Amino acid sequence: MASTFKGLITGVALAFFALPAFARDITIDLAGEPSSLDPHLQWNPDSYYVYRNVFDNVVTRNNAGEIVPQLATEWEQVSDTELVLTIRDDVTFHDGEPLEPSDVVYSVLRITNPDFASPQLGQFNQIIGAAVVDGNKVKLTTDGPYPALMAQLVKLSVVPEHVVEAVGNEAFNATPLGSGPYTFEEWDRGVSVTLARNDAYWGEAGPFDKAIFRAVPDAATRVADLQAGTADLVVSIDADAGAQLASNPNVKVLSAPTERVGYVGLNLDKPPFNNLEMRKAASLAIDRLGITEGLLQAGEVPMAQMASPAHFGYNPDLPLFEYDPDMAREIVAANADLAQTPATLATAPVFDQRIVQAVQQMLNDVGFNVSISMTDMPTYLGIARSEPAENSELSFGRWSCACQDADGIAYPTLHSDSAWSRVNVPELDELLEKARVSLDPAVRQDAYNKVSQIVRDNYYLLPMYQAAVLYGEPPIWNSSQRPTKACSSTA
């Protein structure tokens, strides 16, 4: 499949392949409906898979994981706090208007505006200034040195100032307009989003006339669609589905590790997990190896930190969490009233519910009182970013920054000023800020090593496993129809 489908290629648990020459459209089954098509709002997978094809980013990554040009053709770090980008002069938005350097500036200022309240703010808030300089150049100014800046710009989509300002944020989300290889055509709420190839695209042309992204929450239905040929790509294939596909001699199933880490989030402001001993008991109760080898079975590995080995800042010396349900029961028994405080485990259909149910059972088996709360993805994301009093006691999620730098993981999930964080620890804030601005890789690595150790010692988050993805090929295609370019799954 051509690399223009960046949203699918980057970080999706899917089955992908090249369509035969006679196929003009592609149908993709998502696990849920996109919560947003505005790239500066949510960037959860079901949203990202769609809008990444509508918008271009400042820079991107090639299949080897290297940062390469997209809208910016070159860049120069002119000082510790100033980066100058050269912007392409041959790009037009889908309405025919030229993409200007001022649109890049507008996009930076929009996503970093606290009043806009982007969930991605923590990824970009080190940027304190953006301005057009020397015609087609844009200068970004950061609040001190920021070595992760280029890695973060991989995720920054550019929107048209003239459209957003004319129609407003709500209307722009409903009918997004970018400069990417596919144009927005229709959003049938709760059913599908349809994109059409942009024949005037400045870069590599999209391989399909249309792309239809369907919301299919039931995993069995997605697999059935794939086998029946009514879907060409499907996301979120689990081990059971993989085994079902593998039993078909005409289907080949592949797996690959990602940089995404599955974890249990804890509300540190509400009982019972505002208590260190209760958090420790919860961690001891979770059999991470049993979940990865017994349930997932796609190459996932237990983790004790939110960064994966693909990230700068990963701590290779951090020991894994212990699994000791007997000790967990002893701790719970000594704090029985606190442990029996009702706790809600928030989840959404996009996540593998076998894991969510296993976590609930493991916690309740040692004496906790946990119930599962299933909501649609937009509601779940709202809960995850709500104030502590409105937030659930527990949540299951997967996190990746798609930047391969721990700044994009640790800062939003652990710094006290992030809407995603339930942690307010001055020592962590100081370490995260130090790692964010230092130009010395050794200083940064040391800070992240300390962060991961503190989080592990205090059970502020409960990382579980490094996620893997499964790929399946439907029976009507063969190896000669596969893409010649490698595809990477990094989120």
In this predicted structure, which of 335-344, 402-411, 428-437, 468-477 has the lowest mean pLDDT?
468-477
Cross-strand pairs, 142: 127
Which whole number is the average pLDDT over 58-74?
Answer: 93
Q: Inform me whether the pLDDT recorded for 457 exceeds 80.
A: yes
CA distance 407 to 435: 8
**Residue 483: predicted pLDDT:** 32
Q: Which residue has the higher pLDDT, 229 or 396?
A: 396
Q: Which residue has the higher pLDDT, 447 or 14?
A: 447
Which whole number is the average pLDDT over 49-54?
Answer: 95
Q: Inform me whether the pLDDT recorded for 6 exceeds 80.
A: no
**Residue 434: predicted pLDDT:** 96
Q: What's the predicted TM-score (pTM) here? A: 0.78
Read off the tokens for 91: 């790009």
Q: Which residue has the higher pLDDT, 13 or 25?
A: 25
Which whole number is the average pLDDT over 420-439?
Answer: 95
Residue 123 phi, psi dihedral angles, 5° rounding: -80, -25
In this predicted structure, which of 254-258, 398-402, 472-476 has the lowest mean pLDDT?
472-476
**Residue 378: predicted pLDDT:** 84
- Express each pLDDT in 219-258 by its tens digit: 889 888 888 888 888 887 777 777 777 777 666 666 777 8
CA distance 54 to 36: 13
Residue 474 confidence class, pLDDT cut points 50, 70, 90: low
**Residue 16: predicted pLDDT:** 34
Which whole number is the average pLDDT over 381-386?
Answer: 89
**Residue 352: predicted pLDDT:** 87
In this predicted structure, which of 154-163, 354-363, 394-403, 438-447 has the lowest mean pLDDT?
394-403
Q: Inform me whether the pLDDT recorded for 194 exceeds 80.
A: yes
CA distance 43 to 49: 9
Domains of the chain by range and CATH? Answer: 6-53+180-252+473-481 (3.40.190.10), 59-165 (3.90.76.10), 258-467 (3.10.105.10)
Q: Inform me whether the pLDDT recorded for 5 exceeds 60.
A: no
**Residue 256: predicted pLDDT:** 74
Considering only CA atoms, which of 344, 205, 367 is closest in space to residue 278? 367
Q: Which residue has the higher pLDDT, 332 or 489?
A: 332
**Residue 236: predicted pLDDT:** 75
**Residue 11: predicted pLDDT:** 34
Counting residues of the chain whose pLDDT is more than 70, the rounded percentage is 90
Read off the tokens for 281: 């008991």
**Residue 473: predicted pLDDT:** 53
- Express each pLDDT in 173-191 by its tens digit: 999 999 999 999 999 999 9
Residue 228: exposed, middle, or buried by beta-carbon count in 10 A (0-12, 13-18, 19+)? exposed
**Residue 307: predicted pLDDT:** 93
Q: Inform me whether the pLDDT recorded for 487 exceeds 60.
A: no
**Residue 146: predicted pLDDT:** 95
Considering only CA atoms, which of 145, 151, 143 is closest in space to residue 127? 143
**Residue 254: predicted pLDDT:** 65
Which whole number is the average pLDDT over 428-453?
Answer: 96
- In order of 28, 36, 176, 221, 439, the CA distances from 230 in angstroms are 9, 25, 27, 11, 51
- Express each pLDDT in 149-164 by its tens digit: 999 999 999 999 999 9
Which whole number is the average pLDDT over 333-349?
Answer: 95
Which whole number is the average pLDDT over 301-328?
Answer: 95
Q: Inform me whether the pLDDT recorded for 168 exceeds 90.
A: yes
**Residue 227: predicted pLDDT:** 83
Q: For the chain, what is the radius of gyration of the CA atoms? A: 22
